Every structure is written in structure tokens, then in C-alpha cells.
Amino acid sequence: MRKWLGATSAVLVLCLATACNAQQPLSQSAFRDVVARELSEQQPGLCVRPDGDSSLKVGRSPQTCDEMDVNTAYIYQQYLADPAHQDEYVGRLVTMALNGLGSLEAPPFTPDRNRIVAVLRPDAYAISAGERGNRESSIWRPFAGDFIVMLAHDEDGQIRSLRGIDLEGIGLSEEDAWQTAISNLRHRIGTLDRTRNAAGAEHVSARSGLANSHLLLPETCAARSPDFDVFIVARDSFFYADASMTDATVMLAGYAAELLRSGQAVYSHRLLSCLDGAWYASVFDSTNTWLPEQ
């Protein structure tokens, strides 16, 4: 496993306004309460009840206050790194909650087998996915570093996680669903858009929003494929560097390090590497080196 020394010498240190002039952030429970107040203001008839420091019970009436759990932990971590945009993060949670309540009144969901895909998500998603093996829980597996793989339904850019009960409705086993997801990805991802910089590192995206799922295809990281490094920067894009191009790998490691140093919200805290057909993760030691994750 490689490690990068002096990685930050390849990039300039950026001082972002949100990092250099950050306001005092709310505590986790105070952030949760702001979300609760905003929900109640936007839809006064709702029942909204705190359930731990980072969770809310939400229902359409006082008699049905446990219809939905809203977990604020993942968005709260993003907010901590960018407290100046508190309203944006609160708004995301409120929108998600109201959309979830709206779906309770929608017709039963029936997945289309041709739209079943696999997507990479930060491992914080596992907190709200539910207990693995429960038919009401989202279906996921560990990947590498701080990522998990989730079974999902691709509705032309809108992604919804799949549960065991969803698969039961179409008579599909979980194992068959995973195989179907990988098969579907080969044509649903579409063309990858690659933008290369002077050092040879590439920014990779796709119009489908499924660029990151390209990393899940067995042929992407195979024993006979080239070794490479990636840093996932958003749910729909990543940076790539061929391991044989020293300038590209050093620049990518330096870029990822500076994002972590800046204090701004990041999608991942791990640099991922495909070596001899296997995935590995590296952790930044906060000084100048990426080290293999134990």
C-alpha cells in the first residue's frame, strides 16, 4: 500500500470564508430543535417530537407521531463544517421530512427491475438505513473507507433506497437484486465525462448522476486493470488518478488533503485506491501524509 509524503506541496492552501470566519455552531440537540420548529411552522398540523439528540419522531397527527424517523446526524456533521449556511442544512432536512410524509399518502411503491441500481453513499447513511436484515430497512453493504453500497431505484436522476419489503413485492431475492443492480449499471450510467488537468488527474461525472457507481463495476477494479486512486467529492462525481502517473497521484492526494485542512464540509475523509484488483483506503494524518487505514 502506498503512502504519500509531502502531498500538500502540489496545491495552494485555500482559505474559505466559511472556514476562516465561522460562526459558533449549534449543539446537536439545538440543531435538531431548529429543524423541529421549522417543520412545525411549515406544516402546523404535524406531530414533531424529539427522540434523542439527533432524531425526531414525525407524524401527520398526534395519534400517529411515530410514522417517520428523521435522523439529523449526517446533515448536522455537514453543518458543523459550514455553520454560516445553517438555513440551507435545516431546509434540506425539512424538505426530506415533508417529502417522506407525502409519500405515505402515495400509492404503494412497486420497483421496476430495470431501474434497480447500486449507489455509493457515506457510511453515515447506515445510521438511518435501519437494522440490516429487517424487511423494512434499506439494503446496504460495506464498501471501502467511509462508504457503503446501497440498493436503490433510479428514477431518472432521483434515487430512492430499496427495502426488503420492496423486493418482496416483485418476488426478487436480495442476492438477485444485487446482481440485477450491477447489470443495470452498465447501461444506466451512460457516458462518463472526464476533465483532465495539467498533472493528469481527472474529474469524472455523468449526466445520469451515477458516475460514482462506475467504481462498483467488477471490471473497473479488476486484477488486470490499471491501479488508480480516487477521491469522491460529491454523490455524483469523483477525482481519478492513474497510479502510473506520479504527478497526478501527488496532486490528487494534495487536493484531498487541502479540502480536509480547510474545514469545509466534505463528502469523504478517505482516499481510495484500487491495487491489484482490490480496494484500499488511506487516512490523512492531519500533517502531510496519507497512511493506509487499519
Whether residue 16 lies inside any domain: the answer is no
Which of 104, 127, 152 is the endpoint of a domain?
104
Rounded distance, CA 52 to CA 32, Å? 9
Can you say whether residue 130 is alpha, beta or left, with left for phi > 0 and alpha for psi between -120 and 50 degrees?
left
pLDDT band at residue 64 under the 50/70/90 scheme: confident
Whole-number pLDDT of residue 276: 95
Query: Per the domain annotation, does 4 fall within a domain?
Result: no
Q: Are residues 30 and 51 in the same domain?
A: yes
Regarding beta strands 278-284 and 270-275, do their DSSP bridges make them parallel or antiparallel, or are they unpaired?
antiparallel
What is the percent of the chain where pLDDT is above 70? 91
Of the residues 188, 207, 226, the one at which a domain ends: 188
Residue 207 lies in a domain: yes
Mean pLDDT across 177-204: 96
Residue 255 lies in a domain: yes
pLDDT at residue number 103 = 73
Instruction: Check whether residue 283 and residue 212 sit in a common domain.
Output: yes
* Residue 5, in any domain of the structure: no
| Position 17 pLDDT exceeds 70 | no
Nearest to 252 by CA among 189, 193, 204: 204
Average pLDDT across the chain, whole number: 87
- In 32-66, which positions are buried (b, 16+ CB within 10 angstroms) versus exposed (e)? bbbbbebbeeeeeebbbeeeeebbbbbbbeeeebe
Residue 39 lies in a domain: yes
> For 197-210, what is each residue's pLDDT tens digit?
999 999 999 999 99
Report the distance separating Cα 227 and Cα 134, nearest Å: 37
Q: Could you say which of 188, 213, 240 is where a domain stops? A: 188
Residue 78 has pLDDT above 80, yes or no: yes
One domain for residues 156 and 224: no
My answer on whether 219 and 167 are in the same domain is no
For the segment 110-127, the average pLDDT, to the nearest whole number, is 93
| Residues 234 and 288 reside in one and the same domain | yes
Count Cα atoms within 13 angstroms, Cβ side, for 161: 20
- Residue-wise pLDDT for 29-61, tens only, equals 999 999 999 999 998 888 999 988 888 989 888
Instruction: Classify the phi-psi angles of 28: left when phi > 0, otherwise alpha if psi is within -120 to 50, otherwise beta.
Output: alpha
The closest of 164, 160, 118 to 141, measured between CA atoms, is 118
Residues 233 and 283 in one domain: yes
Q: How many CB atoms lie within 10 A of CB 73?
A: 16
Average pLDDT on 205-228 reads 95
Answer yes or no: are the C-beta atoms of 50 and 36 closer than 8 Å.
Answer: yes
Residues 237 and 281 in one domain: yes
Are 284 and 219 in the same domain? yes
Q: What is the pTM of this model?
A: 0.69
* Total domains, the chain: 3
Quickly tell me which residue has 487516512 as its cell: 283
Band of pLDDT at residue 126, cut at 50, 70 and 90:
confident
pLDDT of 252-261, one tens digit each?
999 999 988 8
pLDDT for 128? 78
Residues 236-246: tens digit of each pLDDT: 999 999 999 99
Q: Kindly state whether residues 197 and 283 are assigned to the same domain.
A: yes
Contact 138, 69 (CB under 8 A): no
Same domain, yes or no: 40 and 97: yes
> How wide is the angle at C-alpha 268 spanned by C-alphas 266 and 273, nearest 5°?
140
Q: In this model, does residue 100 exceed pLDDT 90?
A: no
Grid cell listed for 234: 460529491
Is there a single domain that holds both residue 153 and residue 226?
Answer: no
Residues 6+ apart with CB under 8 A from 254: 4, 7, 8, 9, 10, 11
Domain shared by 90 and 45, yes or no: yes
pLDDT at 218: 96
Instruction: State residue 13's pLDDT score.
Output: 30
The domain in which residue 56 lies consists of 24-104
In a domain, 67, yes or no: yes
Q: Is residue 14 part of a domain?
A: no
